[in-house]
Structure 1
Amino acid sequence: MARKKTQKKPEARIVRRKLPPLELRRLEDQVVLITGGNRGIGLAMARAVAKEGASVIITGRDEHTLHHAADQIKRDGGTVVSHVCDVRDEDSVDELFAAIHRHYSQIDVLVNNAGLAQRNAQVDHLSLEAWQACIETNLTGAFLCTRAALPMMSPGATVVNNVSVAANTAFPGMAAYSASKAGLLAFTNTLREELRPRGIRVISLVPGATDTEIWQQFWKDAPREKMMSAESVADAVVAALCLPANATIEELLIRPTAGTL
């Protein structure tokens, strides 16, 4: 009996996203630093600005995740430098900016995105450790990075602080996270007025429920189908960054359309 020939399976094609033509890259020659750029909204923003031609610097505390994120951006054709940094630690932030100085002479966009949530807990069951972790990461980290970045920023530069709707909406069981974000909003509003005479724009990014890993920290069964994607938030940020130099969006509020959670 003749042996049946086995049909050879076609090889899988790897499709990689290429950068648009040079004349269409709206952030060409821009240097963009994104803290917490190794996952979630931060990584989505990093990929989006790299696609627009920006040179991207991403930070994170987890070295493995950070390198994986950088590899994704490089596969897309983007230019990226990654550096491990704990934004809560002043020495770690100083080391980050010393490394940046070795690559670049200026920062055009700083995105203070690094953040964490807390385990859902009422105030009388909230540990001091959980409280301090939120405040130090979400608020003090933004302060330390902003203070270090400003000497490298010139008129036309932009600071984007990822604030969250928790800054002005009460969520029981989330006192530490909400307090850190409310503090970040106040810091952002003050910073905007201080930097306005220097021609540096300051934007409050206020995303609603976004489908990222942060929900695992406090609501594992959250209805992800009602949330917006990190890429949607990133696209809105890119649009704000590409406004003319004499225009800005002071608060970028983005909400999902699938209903409230």
Structure 2
Amino acid sequence: MAGSQCCSNPPVLMSNSGKGSVEEIVGLKVYVAAAASSSSKHGILLVSDVFGYEAPKLRKLADKIADAGFHVAVPDFFCGDPFSYDNPEKPLPVWRSFHRGDKEFEDAKTVINALKSDGISNIGAAGFCWGAKVVVQLASSDCIEAAVMFHPSFVTQDEMKEVQVPIAILGAEIDKYCSPEVLKQFDETLSANSEVTSFVKMFPGTVHGWTVRYDDNDENAVKSAEEAHEDMLTWFNKYVK
């Protein structure tokens, strides 16, 4: 299997994908997938990878989470500037210099506060690759009830030490950004904190980004992605609802 690359298998972005709708919340475009029950007080914030909030598989997952009874928000934290190979002026290192995560973390807190103002009392957050950087910061604050990180990128051991809420980390076997060795270190760091509940799992045969960039024609890839999605739902059902 080919080695992990952060931006391998980029999605074809589609502004009209998903069953939900795009709304404006605190000045940001946000894909919203509402729970069937309009009285749901449980929300999930999804923080995308570098390809942004229009990725069809990410929106499909948001719809699935909504079907499980959550109000789901997927903000465009990049404000119309997702990473793209079609923009030679912004290779990934340059793009990241504009999107390091700090501003996006502040924007995430603002979106969460807006959701709470609208009656969503309990909120969890899940981040994919780049998005895990934002989620680990949220997990170190009092903004959310629980967190999930999928194949995280650029997350440090020091950041893991600051986590305050139940957190699950779902990692790939083949991943230069979060190798099984790094995943094990995260597990050890979290396990040393008796006040934080954690769950760390490595998925054999998977590569970085597999949960939202899997090949629909690869049965094993689809199965692994769906297993990770179910692990996330189990976590949020336990700690957010």
TM-score, normalising length from structure 2?
0.47
Query: Rg bigger for which structure?
Result: 1
TM-score, length of structure 1 as denominator length = 0.45
Larger % of helix: which? 1
Which has the larger share of strand? 2
